[in-house]
Structures are given as structure tokens and as C-alpha cells.
Amino acid sequence: MMIHVKLIANYREHLPPEAKNGVVDLDLPNGTTVREALSSFPIPLDDSSVIVVNGLTVDLDTPLKAGDVVSAFSAIAGG
């Protein structure tokens, strides 16, 4: 299945050279989770990152479907 990974802001530097406009397409096995899809990128998979699928915050163990857009960016602390 083909999914799209979009890394935003400072996470963009971890995209491969073939990425276009901050997005890279990945061909993954059916049932791949968000965590598995993002594990190939050196970004934190904890509370310091915001991870969304198709615009909705999800658990990292959520299985992906073909065509999903997984976006990740650093959480910003404000005060």
C-alpha cells in the first residue's frame, strides 16, 4: 500500500532527497502502523512530536490504509 509521509518544520531535514514539498511516498505492507511507518526517520516518537494521520491525532499503533497522509512535527512549548 502506498502512504504519504509529510515532515514539517525542523523534521524536514530528515526526509530523503527524493521528497517533494516535504512529502515522501512509502510503499508499505498492509497493516503497517504509524510507528512502523515513521521508524525509518530519525524523529522522536514520543510526546515531543505531534503525529497526525489525515489531519487527526492518532495513537502510534494505529494501522494505516492506502492513501493515508502521516504528518509529523515538533511539539512547541509555549508560555
The pLDDT value recorded for residue 78 is 45
CATH for 32: 3.10.20.30
The pLDDT value recorded for residue 75 is 87
Q: Is residue 54 part of a domain?
A: yes
- Give yes or no for residue 77 having a pLDDT over 70: no
Per-residue pLDDT tens for 18-43?
Answer: 889 899 999 999 999 999 999 999 99
pLDDT band of residue 79 (cuts 50, 70, 90) is very low
Q: Is residue 27 part of a domain?
A: yes
DSSP string, the chain: -EEEEEE-GGGGGGS-TT-BTTEEEEE--TT-BHHHHHTTS-S--STTEEEEETTEE--TTPBP-TT-EEEEEE-----
69 lies in which domain range? 2-74
Q: Is residue 79 part of a domain?
A: no
Q: Is residue 65 part of a domain?
A: yes
Number of folded domains in the chain?
Answer: 1
